[in-house]
Each structure stands twice: as structure tokens, then as C-alpha cells.
A and B are shown apart, each in its own frame.
Chain A
Amino acid sequence: MSPGQAIALVVDDSAVNRKVLARHLASLDIEAREAANGREALELLDADGAGIDIVLLDIEMPELDGYETLAAIKGDDALRHIPVIMISSVEELDSVVRCIEMGATDYLPKPFNPAILEARVHASLAGKRLHDLELESAARQAELLKTIERQKDELSRFLSPQVAALVSSAEGEQLLAGHRRIATSVFCDLRGFTPFSEATPPELVIRVLREYHAMMGEQIMAHGGTLEHFAGDGMMVFFNDPVLQADHVARAVLMALAMRDRFDALASSWASDGHSLGFGVGIATGEVTLGRIGFEGRYDYGMVGTTVIVASRLSSAAGPGQILLSPWAADAVDGMFDVEPVGEVVLKGFSKPLAAVNVLGMSSDPAHLPAREAAAVAE
């Protein structure tokens, strides 16, 4: 309903009745449009259905009577919400009952009593107003949902998709508040990147990083990893959070292998520039603490704990092309990959050395292939 004056459609074959009704309506600050029969009324409604707030409908009319008109209004999705008040003489009360069963809101006895007219019209208009408000509110809600979806979409370009989903999910708040679980942390970076970036024109450094990040991003997505952060040539990715992944260690190793393969192809195009770059990875599994870390205005979804530090140190210790696994991670994927022991690795900040292994590639024994790799081979 327009916020201003309400509009009533008066349908009566008697010009006297229309005139009297229009006059009464005007005193209630309601504008009256007039139709002499049902056909004229439907024409007006079709042309301006949304503008009409209430219909006052006579029963006995030529061309199209009150019943037929009422049936047409109530049968039209665009019109059925408009309240219809039947105009009837006292003898027509039986007809009124039928009309109310057909969907009429109320009736108005003839001759018109202004007080009854006012009460019935106002009651019906209040119902219509409520209906209009509900429609408006539903439209606003749909608009809001669209905005949220769009923001989620945009957010997912800054955050990893899993974290973007978390932000707008019901259980997200709880996960963001902090929790502990077994997860796998992956650190990777480039050997020789610092001297390379110092000796190379900035445009080339940026191009190399862009190609490198694009490739890494693809592999993180493909394996369902959650990117915690990247800084220059370094990245930290974790698995089994916020989405649980039963095969989180295998996913991490498979991702590292795919990255290493693709990196070799990319690096050969950069190596011609005279600097060789190497790709190193550290993977550790263990209990970690996850949640929202940061400060008002800049929060990250982060992972902390010894496991994270072990992965980081293993990454630093890895030589070009090496993928080093912590003992827990190595146990978890035992047999799936061909590995070689690299002996006891002394990690900065840890008193005890660690027996790490280097992943050479997929297991040469087909019986130990992870299920999805086996499926890929079968295809």
C-alpha cells in the first residue's frame, strides 16, 4: 500500500450508490475509483491492481455480477490479497455468506451507515497493510540474504573457502572461539628466493611469485587444504580443520607432491634467468589449537602449537625438492608413499632431534596406493 492515501475501488451499477460511497470514503481520506460492473472493475484492477487497496463490491450487477467478480479476484495471484467488502441489502444476507466463503473479507449493509463503513473499511485496510508489510519485509530479507551471499562470495576471495564458510555458519562462532584437535600442518617455501629476488628485476620477481602462487593455490583447493597465510615465497596450509578430513595426512603429502611436480615445470622457465630456485616442504601432524587470532580490525583463522613449529622447522631443514615428514605424519601414511629416512634432524628450539623422512613419490607398491589414487589409476 502506498504510504499516502489509500485507494478503494467501488463497484456498483448504481451511480447513486457509487456517489454516496465515494463521498463517505473521501471523508475517511480514502480515494475512490468507480466501476459500474464487474467487467469494468477487473479492467481497472488489471491495469492498476497493485494500486488498489480495497474493493467494495455490489452483488447484483449487469455484465459481470459480484460472485463472478469476486471469483476472478480471488483466482488471480496478483489480486487475491486485496480485501473485498461486499455491498448488500439486508435481504441478501444469504448471498453474503456465500461471498465470505468465497474469500470476501466482510460486508457492508445498504443503505450505508458511515460508522459501519468506517469500521469495516479500516479493519480490512489494516489487514491489507499488514500483508503489504509482510511482503515488504520478505523482500528486504531476500535482499539481505543476497547481500550476505555476495559478501560471502567476496570474502572467499580473501579467506580460504573453508574459513569463509565458517564465518557465516551456525557452528562457526564456536570454532572461531578456539578448539583443539589433531591436524596436519604444511609449510613450504623456496630455496634461494632471497638472492633471486635481490638480483632479479622487480617485475620478474612479481611474475614468478604470481605464477608460483597461482599454482600453489590451485593445489591447495584441489586437495581441500585451508590456507592459513602466505608471506612472500612461504605458505602455511593445514588439513582436518575447520572441515574434518579422515585422510588429512595423505591429503597433505599428495598436495606437496603435486606442488613439487608443478614447481619443477615452472622453475625450468625461471631457471634460464640464471638463478635456480628450489621447493622445500615440511609436514607435521599432532594436536594443535585453532581459532580466531589477531586484533580488532584484523583477525586471522590461525593454528598454533608445537606441531606448527615442527612443520615450519622441517620446511627450513628441507633441501631443494625435499618433502620432510614428522614421525607422526610418516606413521599415518606408512606404505602409501616411497620415503627415505633423512636421519635425526636437529630442529632449532627443540632439545631432542627428530627422525624425519623425505617423501620420494607415490608408493611403487600398488597395494599401498591411497584409494583415490588407485581409482585414478583404474580409470
Chain B
Amino acid sequence: MNLDGAPVLDEAVLAELRASIGDDQEFMVELVETYVAEGATNMDGLLAAATAQDCAAIIRPAHTLKSTSASLGAMRLSAICRAIEEAGRQSRPDTLREDAELARATWEATLTAFAEAGLRA
């Protein structure tokens, strides 16, 4: 998996999103809160599907995490989830566990980065 140039949190994406919503800090915090809640559920689903090596079941949580992470600038997690979704669609279960473990660690790093960016209490 090539993660070169995929930062945990892309400040530029975040800045663009912030600008597009009128620099509303309260909304940004609320959005990250939603992302964390939704992401946690999807991470659970993704890990469970990886443990079971269930290619079909891993597609949706990977897909949603890929897309919402990209929206909020969590580019590294988005890239990992894209690879997992792809593997799921191609029915390649062999790397699922390893990739899911990477996703989990990146998820933690992403939460920390959001906190450091002042977007999590």
C-alpha cells in the first residue's frame, strides 16, 4: 500500500472545508464529533469483517470511512480504507487483517490530530 504523501490530517483540506462553511468553529467541532461517532461504528465493522476475512462485509464500512475521512482531511486513513474497499471488492481476503490493523492505528492517530487541531474536546 502506497501511503506516500497522505498526511494523517491534511491542513489544506481542513482549511478549505472551514472556509467553505464560513469559518464556523462550532460547526467544525460538531462535524468532527459526528465523524468520530460514525467512524467508531465503521471501524468496529471493518475490524470485525477483517477478523472474519469477510470481503463482502468489509466493503461498506471501508467505503464510508474512505469518503468521510477524505471530506475532513484524514487522508491517510482514507487511503488505507480505499485499499481495503478495493481488496474487498476484488475478494482478496489475505491482506485484510493487516490492513485493518493499520487502519485502526491510523484512526487513533487521526483522533489525536483532530484534538491537536483544536477540533476535539
* A interface list, Cβ under 8 A from B: 13-17, 19-20, 23-24, 27, 60, 62, 89, 91, 110-112, 114
Contacts and interface: CB of A to CB of B under 8 A. Distances in A.
B34 A27 contact: no
Contacts of B20: 24, 114
Contacts of A110: 67, 70-71
B60 A62 contact: yes
B34 A111 contact: no
A115 to B, nearest CB: 9
A62 B38 CA distance: 14
B22 A111 contact: no
A62 B42 CA distance: 13
Contact of A20 (B31, B38, B59): B31
B82 interface: yes
A17 B21 contact: no
Given A16-B38, A20-B17, A111 B66 contact: no
Contact of A16 (B21, B22, B63, B72): B72
B81 to A, nearest CB: 11
B31 A111 contact: no
A118 to B, nearest CB: 10
14 contacts: A14-B64, A14-B68, A16-B34, A16-B38, A17-B68, A17-B71, A19-B31, A20-B71, A23-B21, A23-B27, A110-B67, A111-B13, A111-B71, A112-B71
Contacts of A19: 30-31, 34
Contacts of B31: 16, 19-20
A375 B27 CA distance: 90
A58 to B, nearest CB: 9
A14 B67 contact: yes
A23 B70 CA distance: 17
Main DSSP-derived SS at the B contact region: helix
A91 to B, nearest CB: 7
A62 B61 CA distance: 10
Contacts of B68: 14, 16-17
A60 B27 contact: no
Of B21, B38, B64, B82, most buried by chain A (CB within 10 Å of CB) is: B64
A27 B35 CA distance: 21
B34 A15 contact: yes
Contacts of B70: 89, 110-111
Contacts of B82: 91
A95 to B, nearest CB: 12
Given A24-B21, A27-B22, A16 B71 contact: yes
Contacts of B21: 20, 23-24, 27
